[in-house]
Every structure is written in structure tokens, then in C-alpha cells.
């Protein structure tokens, strides 16, 4: 991937240490994040913080998730090179670019058109040909492309993961999502789809995401 010649090499090395320190173990995930120029995904004025382990603001009240959370979510999805992945909440496109290096194709949905157009520009600049975008309400998923081995929701549902997304998960597939209406007590959960269509849930950690909203802008 063509990052700028490397003003950020040291920052990226620090990012790797932060990821390991927060429990991310999958070397492929760490390498994908090390290759992804996060400075391209944040507003100009925050570039010098691009590799800090914090969430950073995007336009229109949205945020780029914290790197250690991106690492943890990506690892929990158990991505593999033949998998099809669905992301709800494209935002800056950072998470989609990380994931696109680990699966066959990423389908990503965003409800705010202006954000999606910016993300598409970044995908193009980085030569990510295996990311397909849609402007729409991600609560409905992307039924035409289902089933997905990996589904990632990057905005918090108030009480439960929308059933349409669970329906679009392949048997054995993994869905990772923040759940909880109160931003101070959201849980990041992982669901694994069973043969009989039910899901087994594990809690990964507490987290703080912007809300999953209906409709488009």
C-alpha cells in the first residue's frame, strides 16, 4: 500500500507495541494495521495523533475507532483469505482497509453519504480493489451478498444486534458488534452462528461507540 515515504515509521512501530500490549496476538492483523496509513483517515489537524491509541474525530460527529479496538475486533472476526466480510459503519474507511487485507472482499455500508465519498476516495488512492461500498441503512445488512463469514458493526445498537444481520451470517460465521444504548456501559460482543441458526455469544470487553441509527443522510 502506498503510504507517504515514511514520516510515520516510528509511530507505526509504537502502534504495534500498543496492539500487543492490549492483547492482540494475530500477527496478520498486526501487520495489516502496520501497513495501513492511519494518518490518511483522520482530519489534517489530528495527523500527529494518528498513531495514538485513541479514537479520533471524523466530520459530522462520527469517530475513527481506537487502534487497539480495531485490532481486537478484526482478530475476533477470525478473517481468512476466502472469507466475505460485511462492515456496518464505514466511517473513514480505516477499519475496512485493515480488514480488506485479510479477507477476499469487504462490503461496507455507511448511512452518511459525505463520509462514504471520502472513504471511497481513500480506497481508490490506496489501490484497495476488494472493497465494495453502499450508501444505505446498514441495519438491513446486504442481503444480495449474504451469507458472510465475518460481520462487523462499528456503531452501537441500543439493545440487540439487528436480526437481519444475524440472518446474513454464514453457519460458523463470526459477528462482532457493540451493544448498549448507554455510551458508558456498552459491551463489545462476538456471536458465532450455529448449525441450527442460533448464536453463541461471548463478551470481548466494554467499549464506547457512536449509536447505530436508522435512515440515511
Q: Which chain residues interact with ligand SAH by CB under 6 A?
A: 62-65, 88-89, 91-92, 94-95, 109-112, 115, 137-139, 154-155, 210, 212-214
- For ligand SAH, the closer of residues 75 and 137 by Cβ is 137
Q: Which is nearer to ligand SAH, 159 or 195 (CB)?
A: 159
Is the separation of the CB atoms in 79 and 105 below 8 Å?
no
Three-class secondary structure of residue 150 per DSSP = strand
CA distance 187 to 199: 17
**Residue 14 vs 134, nearer CB to ligand SAH:** 134
Contacts of residue 33, Cβ cutoff 8 Å, sequence gap at least 6: 15, 16, 19, 67, 70, 71, 74, 98
43 versus 172: smaller Cβ distance to ligand SAH: 43
List the catalytic residue out of 2, 22, 45, 65: 65
Number of H helices, E strands in the chain: 6, 9
Residue 34 C-alpha cell reads as 502496520
Q: How far is the CB of 71 from ligand SAH (least distance, A)?
A: 12
65 is catalytic: yes
Q: What is the full DSSP assignment across 64-114?
A: EPPHHHHHHHHHHT---TT-EEEEE--TTSHHHHHHHTTSSEEEEEES-HH
Q: Which residues contact 132 (CB under 8 A, 6 or more apart)?
A: 105, 106, 107, 108, 145
Nearest approach in angstroms of CB 62 to ligand SAH is 4
**Least distance CB 5 / ligand SAH (angstroms):** 24
Q: Supply the minimum distance, in Å, between the C-beta of residue 196 and ligand SAH.
A: 28
Q: How far is the CB of 26 from ligand SAH (least distance, A)?
A: 18
Closer of 138 and 173 to ligand SAH (Cβ): 138
Residues annotated catalytic, as ranges: 65
Amino acid at each position: 500500500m502506498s503510504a507517504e515515504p515514511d514520516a510515520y515509521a516510528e509511530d507505526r512501530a509504537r502502534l504495534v507495541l500498543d496492539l500487543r500490549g492490549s492483547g492482540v496476538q494475530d500477527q496478520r492483523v498486526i501487520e495489516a494495521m502496520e501497513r495501513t496509513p492511519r494518518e490518511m483517515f483522520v482530519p489534517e489537524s489530528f495527523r500527529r495523533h494518528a498513531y495514538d491509541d485513541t479514537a479520533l474525530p471524523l466530520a459530522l460527529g462520527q469517530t475513527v475507532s481506537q487502534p487497539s479496538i480495531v485490532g481486537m475486533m478484526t482478530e475476533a472476526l477470525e478473517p481468512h483469505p476466502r472469507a466475505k466480510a460485511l462492515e456496518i459503519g464505514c466511517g473513514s474507511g480505516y477499519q475496512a482497509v485493515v480488514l480488506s487485507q485479510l479477507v477476499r472482499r469487504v462490503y461496507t455500508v455507511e448511512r452518511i453519504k459525505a463520509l462514504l465519498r471520502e472513504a471511497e476516495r481513500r480506497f481508490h488512492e490506496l489501490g484497495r480493489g476488494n472493497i465494495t461500498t453502499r450508501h444505505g441503512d446498514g441495519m438491513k445488512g446486504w442481503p444480495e451478498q449474504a451469507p458472510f463469514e465475518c460481520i462487523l458493526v462499528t456503531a452501537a445498537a441500543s439493545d440487540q444486534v439487528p436480526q437481519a444481520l444475524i440472518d446474513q451470517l454464514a453457519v460458523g460465521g463470526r459477528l462482532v458488534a457493540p451493544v448498549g444504548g448507554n455510551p458508558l456501559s456498552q459491551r463489545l460482543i462476538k456471536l458465532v452462528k450455529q448449525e441450527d441458526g442460533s448464536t453463541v455469544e461471548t463478551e470481548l470487553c466494554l467499549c464506547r461507540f457512536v449509536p447505530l441509527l436508522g435512515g440515511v443522510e
